Amino acid sequence: MIVVLFIEFAKLCENLASTSSKNKKVELMADFIKALDEEELTAVVSFLTSKSILPSLGLNLRVGYVTLFKILCEATSISPWHLHKVYVKYGDLGDAAYEVFSNKGLKVKPLISRDLSIKVVKEKLVEAGTFIGERSTQYKRDSVLSLLLNCTPLEAKYLTKIILGDLRIEVSTGLVLEALSKAYNLPLDDVRHVTLYNPYIDEVAVTISKGEYRNIGVKIMRPLAFMLAQPLQLNEVADHLKEHKCVTEYKYDGVRVQLHKKGEDVELFSRRLEKIGRSFPEILKAGRKLPEELVLDGELLAVKDGHPLHFTLLQRRLRRKKPDEALIQEIPVEYYVFDILYLNGKELTSLQYLERRRILESILKENVGIKLAPIFEAESEERVRMLFEESIRLGYEGLMLKDVAGPYQLGSRGYLWVKLKRPLTTLTVVVTAVEWGHGKRSGLLSDYTFAVRDEEGRLLNIGKAYSGLTDEEIKYYTNLFKNLAVGELPTGYRVRPEIVLEVAFNSIQKSTRHESGFALRFPRIERMRPDLSVNDIDTIDTVKKIYESQEVKPE
């Protein structure tokens, strides 16, 4: 098979950026994908979905705007002042790279000048992602510089965008899946089905290309798509119980976690599909006492003396990859299990809820650190209201209602599971831009612009918040945001949409300032949500519903 050059991928991106037609984008990607071998395919679908490294490898490139800016200056022998001037002209570092590479000769010619292939770009970026430790920044710089020194202007433009994780060509993961469907002539539902069992787009693409999608199933240590719940108001419970026979559980205010076990190997996966087991060694130890092979679903809580602790304490545990014994004792955690998806070679998701519950009860005996989430009968609206008030009194977030006959629907947000919470006073949003603070917060990125999403996954800004975090948290996230920067603003940076938070607010008003058409009045950060991804944030429909439910609707 002919080696596909990186310049061809760059031309594809130019064509994708030039059309607003989704059908045309799908057609362009499908035609391109057909010509790729397996190694090229994994790279292309990763790049198109704004991943600089194959998702299945679990690596992060961590080359941010500031570092890449310096590398571009070195590659083109121009001053930072000159590059900044060009950047301001376009507002995009990739477009700036195109101009300076077009107008300037390279400072250092590579020893061997060669046409860049997609495979070489992939190999170099993976290599850069493996570097850790004190000199990792220098090693990453060398890897990226070696690529840029072989780039044409158009290649430099899109290599820069890939590294920053911001192609800006209006291509979503959903469109890439449609392109895979078209390229290999498969029903789109079959392609989407694969993603329920494998969240890694590079591996999904290979499975589809080989025609192995019919054999997809549970693989231990590969996270599954979580089943999610629809929100329900208390005054809707009576009607819901007419349609669904339910049991209830407390709605825990923690981190949703899948536990995977195979032999002595145990791992925890968050909703972001990230491995977080190292942060909770006591849960991994407890997990080794469970049966040979299984996948559990549950909630990780900070708990002391049987009572849930505030979520911010759990965040401290999440941020520490290797907690010491003092922190483990200070903030003890427990894993409350409420479902089982797989046991010793058998997938259980198609079983009814009560059948899965009976299996869970048979294997979860007394285990320090891992608990069976209690359930309660939900025979009437009055009973549900009583349990709801009790859950709030005990420090939980609310109540879950689960249909006793329902299967575990991977990746589904339906009415087999519903959640009752206190009246909505927060939104889950993602940070899209950050600005430098003032006074005691000068030198820190403390002002966050945030967004919700529409039905197509586009991000729509809805407000800005700068209160609610401690000085320690702001320092921590300042370092994080520097690595996530994709472009400059007069007072800060645009950032990759990876940091999720909950914001409280007094009310919602209509606004022409934000693309969403709405703005939050007096927003404040309630808490950070490192366990969630951009796919978990609230939608513009939720914002509209809250606005319409307000007795007073500020214009």
Q: What is the CATH number of the domain that holds 233?
A: 3.30.470.30
Query: Which residue blocks in 353-406 are alpha helix, DSSP H?
Result: 353-363, 381-393
* 257 & 312 share domain: yes
What mean pLDDT is reported for the chain?
A: 92
Q: What is the model's pLDDT at position 111?
A: 47
* 376 & 294 share domain: yes
Tell me if 17 is assigned to some domain.
no
The pair of structure tokens assigned to 349 is: 């998701």
Tell me if 180 is assigned to some domain.
no
State the amino acid at position 30 in one-letter form: A
pLDDT in tens, 402-424: 999 999 999 998 999 999 987 65
The pair of structure tokens assigned to 290 is: 């469970």
Q: What is the model's pLDDT at position 105?
A: 55
* 311 & 349 share domain: yes
* 417 & 439 share domain: no
Task: Assign 114 a pLDDT band (cuts: 50, 70, 90).
Answer: low
DSSP category for residue 107: S
Among residues 421, 452, 474, the one where a domain terminates is 421
Residues 429-433, mean pLDDT to the nearest whole number: 97
For 203, the 3-state DSSP assignment is helix
Q: How far apart are CA 414 and CA 160, in angstroms?
A: 40
* 371 & 476 share domain: no
Q: Comparing C-alpha atoms, which of 255, 345, 349 is closest to residue 291?
A: 345
* 335 & 457 share domain: no
Residue 497 pLDDT greater than 80, yes or no: yes
Tell me if 414 is assigned to some domain.
yes
Q: What is the model's pLDDT at position 367?
A: 79
Residue 140 pLDDT greater than 50, yes or no: yes
Q: Are 542 and 506 in contact (CB under 8 A)?
A: no
Answer yes or no: pTM beyond 0.85.
yes
Q: Up-side HSE of residue 128: CA atoms within 13 Å toward CB?
A: 26
Q: Comparing C-alpha atoms, which of 181, 183, 372, 178 is closest to residue 259?
A: 372
* 63 & 154 share domain: yes
Of the listed ranges 264-273, 305-314, 383-392, 543-552, the least confidently predicted one is: 543-552
* 438 & 369 share domain: no
Q: How far apart are CA 155 and CA 295, in angstroms?
A: 43
Beta bridge partners of 302: 333
Tell me if 100 is assigned to some domain.
yes
Q: Which helix (H) or strand (E) holds 80?
A: helix 80-90
Q: How far apart are CA 451 and CA 205, in angstroms?
A: 30
For 106, the 3-state DSSP assignment is coil
The pair of structure tokens assigned to 90 is: 């376009």
> Containing domain of residue 528, as a range?
426-549
Total domains, the chain: 3
Task: Assign 122 a pLDDT band (cuts: 50, 70, 90).
Answer: very high
Residue 99's CATH number: 1.10.3260.10
DSSP category for residue 373: P
Tell me if 186 is assigned to some domain.
no
Q: What is the model's pLDDT at position 95?
A: 96
Of the listed ranges 248-252, 384-388, 512-516, the least confidently predicted one is: 512-516
Q: What is the CA radius of gyration of the chain?
A: 25
Residue 107 pLDDT greater than 70, yes or no: no
Phi and psi torsions of 510, nearest 5°? -75, 150
Among residues 421, 437, 472, the one where a domain terminates is 421
Tell me if 43 is assigned to some domain.
no
* 76 & 112 share domain: yes
Tell me if 170 is assigned to some domain.
no
* 442 & 533 share domain: yes
Q: Are 491 and 436 in contact (CB under 8 A)?
A: yes
- From first CA to last CA, the distance across the chain in angstroms is 61
- Residue, of 395 and 448, whose pLDDT is higher: 448
Q: Comparing C-alpha atoms, which of 168, 189, 192, 155 is closest to residue 75?
A: 155
Among residues 114, 132, 164, the one where a domain terminates is 164
* Ramachandran sector of residue 282 (left: φ over 0; alpha: ψ -120 to 50; beta: rest): alpha
* 282 & 411 share domain: yes
* 370 & 503 share domain: no
Q: How far apart are CA 37 and CA 18, in angstroms?
A: 26
Residue 527's CATH number: 2.40.50.140
pLDDT in tens, 193-234: 999 999 999 999 999 999 888 889 999 999 999 999 998 888
Active site residues: 251
Tell me if 55 is assigned to some domain.
yes
